[in-house]
Every structure is written in structure tokens, then in C-alpha cells.
Structure 1
């Protein structure tokens, strides 16, 4: 039996472990007490080996999806919404980790400028929609109007009402144009969000993730809940339904989201040209110049 595929998988799994340990440094830099409390509140976490094995398998399927989208010039939009610290960014990071950034890109828009505030509400999102052969992941989207803008008073009730009237038809227009639209809401409990905010406060590598808006979201938890419920009621259309991802367990949430996303799109294998490494052309008369030492990065490690 040929052991090459097995050896490749083991090597790739080890590399994945190494990469993800770099990504997830929180346990190393958190105070021991916060880490202990967090682990105690998540007694049934998936073991790391199982998680990484499944993540790698799903990421290999994402590559097949990417190839299919590119080959058939498909257009895919995936929306990630949810409360602050619900795990949207972590899921997006694992989706894009092994994909070609020319095919799959992330859109995370800042607050609108004064000029954008005077435009048609959806106008600033339209330039980021995919062309043929592209996947676009929106880390928050036009649904800001139904959530943070509404709760924090950045949009009037008339503007919110207009949004609810417009967004179903806007999304139907996207679908009619050939875009495949998938919408995810990452859901966590009040207690889980509080724990994650405390972890960010005590983690110097993640304090940048805490904004004044995030802190206000704790105060206005019930307002966000009401806004979310009305958003689902008004925008959960048959052509573009919402899918809720339970997010208290980060690892399972990521795996479940990726698995579900793959199930939404009828991708299949596409033809590939065989790749062969060409021979290097060797010129015996060529002499490589010695470059000045100060052009090199210092070898500190």
C-alpha cells in the first residue's frame, strides 16, 4: 500500500497545528485565572487533534469549492453577522486560511464617511460585490443598519423602516444577477460574551478588538436582542434565509459553519492541467553579482 497520502496528511496536520497555535495565542498570554475559569465553563470542548483533523478536511473541500467557483465564473457572497465577540472573525479566518486571496476576499467596511451617509444606503456595499469567479465574505454587512446603527442611534426609525422595506428586494436583485447569497448569524449567550470580553481586556494581543461600541453592546444587550429578532422577522426571506450558528463553542461553531456553507453550493471537481516543474535554464557565462551586505535583513533569529 502506498503510504505517501498518509504521510502527506500527517505532515499537513502537523503544519496546521503549528499555524493554528500561532493564531490562537490567547491561552499563552491570558492570566491563568481567566484561562482556568474559561476552561471550567467549557468542559466538553472538542479535543484539539479531532478539531484540526476536521478543519483540514473541510479546508481541502473549500479549495475544491474555490476551484469550482473560479472555473465556472460563479459569484458567491457570504454574510457574517452576530453580536460582538460571537466568533465571526475566527470562522472567516479559517475559511480563508488556505484559499487564494484573488478568488476569496474579506470585506470589513469602516464607519461610513460623511459623503457615504448621503448616498443610497446600499451604494457603498455594491462595489465590493463579486465578479465571476469570486467569493466575497462580508464581516458585517448592510445589516449594520438593522443592528448597531439602529441600537446606537446612528439611523433614524424612518431609515430603519426603509431598510426593512428595501433589503428583501435588494437581495432578490443580487440573486437574479447570479450571485449565490448565504447569510449567517453567530449566536452566543450573555454569559459567554461577558467571558470573552473579559478575556480580551486581559489579553494584550486582543485588546485592539475592544471598541467603545463593543463595550456599549454589553449595556444594550436587550436592545440588540430586540433588533435581532425584528431583523430575522423582516429579512428571513425564502430566497435568502438566515442560518444561525450556535457559537458558545468556538471550534464546533467554525466546523459547523464551514460544513454548512459547503452544503449550500453544488460544487464538484473541475478539470485541472497537469503541473510539471520545468527545467532551469543554466547559462555557464552568467556570474551572479554579490549584493551589498546592508541590503539584507539582519539575521536576528
Structure 2
């Protein structure tokens, strides 16, 4: 598909393209199970960036037995006193599993610092240890794919307001979300620091421009397919629009201000 075709996608074309990509994802899972591999997809991004919808698009037709979505809540008092990564380690994929983290240990690099939920010392410890941890996981056979969904301040404002007006989305409203616009610049500062420090050759960040949800879904999946080896891959499907889903290049100018 050409770049313009992706950008001009309408509802009917979107469903057609998504269906074809989901067939490829089923191939990924069949290969994953057959070979006993492990895939961990980390999804981070601005509040209201579309992580839930992206995960639904990825997992809709995958086997629930070998697919897990992990969205951990506030740590308990016991968990708060443990090694920070401990409760996440317990959720890592087993052999043959596809696991998606809807937010992850990178909470410490963003929301926890912005909202004052951790100390500067805890933040510094996290930033100095997360890369070695991910390296160990990768060397142990876990495929780690990290995505950051980026949206504009205007788009975030509209989505948050939509949540407040939609009775079916009330569960998505939280005190943290309500601070997202007020603390926009602080989130930007810590996002930039996170990307600069934790995008490594082994586990790079992929940025997904998500102002258009449909484009974000299609191109994130295409990028995911590109990065995974599996039997029967249709290489034409694994071709993301590089203006929408692209590997972080270290340039803050590539991100939403």
C-alpha cells in the first residue's frame, strides 16, 4: 500500500486493511506457539492516545489462551515495598505467549515523576537499570517491542472532553487524566528524557503518530509485523508508513510539542 493510500483510508478500506493485517497476526501467533517463542509488546503514550483501541485491533482475532493484556493498577502497600520491577516480571510472556503491556514499568519514567508518586532517587535508579533489564530479557529469548503513541495537545483535549460526555467511556476518566493538559509540558520533558535514555539498539522505541486512530492502528501493526520473523510472512503487509510509525531517531523535533 502506498503512503497516500494509508493516509486516505476510510472506514470500509480500514476494515479491509485491518482484516488482512489481523490474518498476518494470526500467522505470527501460530509461528510463536509452534516455536515456543515469547513476545512482549510495550505500549506507552499520552493519556487518551489510543492504547486501548490499538490493543483491541491487535488482539481481536488472536487466541485468548496464548494472548495476555497486562494493565496493572496502583501497586499495593506490599508491592510498593518490593523491587520496582517485581510485579511486572511476574507478567512476562511464557513460551508461546504474546503479551501486551498497556502501560508498563515506564510509568516510573513518566506519570510517577510528573504526579509526584516516586522520588527523584527512585526515578534515577529506574533510569539506570531499565536498559540492562531489557537486555537480559532479550538475551533470554524474549522479543521486546516498544511503542510510544504520540498525539497533539489539541487532539488530547478533544478526546478527554469526549470521554466526559460519553456514558460508555466514563470508566476511562481518572484524576490523572484530568491533569494531562495542565501538566502537558512536564509530560513532554519526561517523555523526551525517557526516549533519549532508553531507546537502545536492542530495544528501540518506535514512535506512532496517533492523531488519526485508524492510521495509527494499521501502521503500528505493520511495524510489528516488520520486526517479527514468522512463517508465511506477506512482506507487502509489513511495510509501515514511515511518517506515521518510525523508529525514534533521537530528535525531539520529531515529537509533538
TM-score, length-normalised on structure 2? 0.87
Alpha-carbon shift at residue 207 of structure 1 (Å): 1.7
Q: CA RMSD in A?
A: 1.1
State the partner residue of 2:60.
Answer: 97
Tell me the distance in 1 between the aligned counterparts of 2:227 and 2:51.
18
- Aligned pair partner of 1:215 in 178, 186, 193: 178
The farther-off stretch of 100-109 and 178-187 is: 100-109
Tell me the distance in 2 between the aligned counterparts of 1:140 and 1:47.
29
Alpha-carbon shift at residue 171 of structure 1 (Å): 0.3
Alpha-carbon shift at residue 217 of structure 1 (Å): 1.4
State the partner residue of 2:82.
Answer: 119
The verdict on how the C-alpha distance between 1:134 and 1:70 changes in structure 2, with shifts beyond 3 A counting, is: same
State the partner residue of 1:190.
Answer: 153
Alpha-carbon shift at residue 269 of structure 1 (Å): 3.8
Alpha-carbon shift at residue 216 of structure 1 (Å): 1.0
Q: Is the 8 A contact 1:45 1:249 kept in 2?
A: no
- Aligned pair partner of 1:48 in 11, 31, 55: 11
- Aligned pair partner of 2:198 in 232, 235, 257: 235
Find out whether 1:158 has 2:158 as its counterpart: no
Structure whose CA Rg is larger: 1
Tell me the distance in 2 between the aligned counterparts of 1:45 and 1:58.
17
Alpha-carbon shift at residue 46 of structure 1 (Å): 2.6
Find out whether 1:136 has 2:99 as its counterpart: yes
State the partner residue of 2:253.
Answer: none
Alpha-carbon shift at residue 45 of structure 1 (Å): 6.0
- Aligned pair partner of 2:214 in 251, 274, 292: 251
> Could you give the per-residue CA deviations for residues 118-147 of structure 1, whole angstroms, max 9, x where no partner exists?
111100001110111001000000000001
State the partner residue of 1:262.
Answer: 225
Question: How many residues get paired?
Answer: 227
Tell me the distance in 1 between the aligned counterparts of 2:173 and 2:60.
23
Q: Is the 8 A contact 1:66 1:99 kept in 2?
A: yes
Tell me the distance in 1 between the aligned counterparts of 2:198 and 2:66.
28
Structure 1 alignment gaps of length 5 or more: 1-43, 271-301
The 5-angstrom pairing of residues 279-294 of structure 1 reads none
Alpha-carbon shift at residue 219 of structure 1 (Å): 1.0
Tell me the distance in 2 between the aligned counterparts of 1:242 and 1:187.
12
Alpha-carbon shift at residue 47 of structure 1 (Å): 1.0
Question: Where has structure 1 moved over 4 Å in runs of 4 or more?
Answer: none
Tell me the distance in 2 between the aligned counterparts of 1:54 and 1:256.
10
The 5-angstrom pairing of residues 52-67 of structure 1 reads 52-67=15-30
Tell me the distance in 2 between the aligned counterparts of 1:239 and 1:95.
23
Structure 2 alignment gaps of length 5 or more: 1-6, 234-257
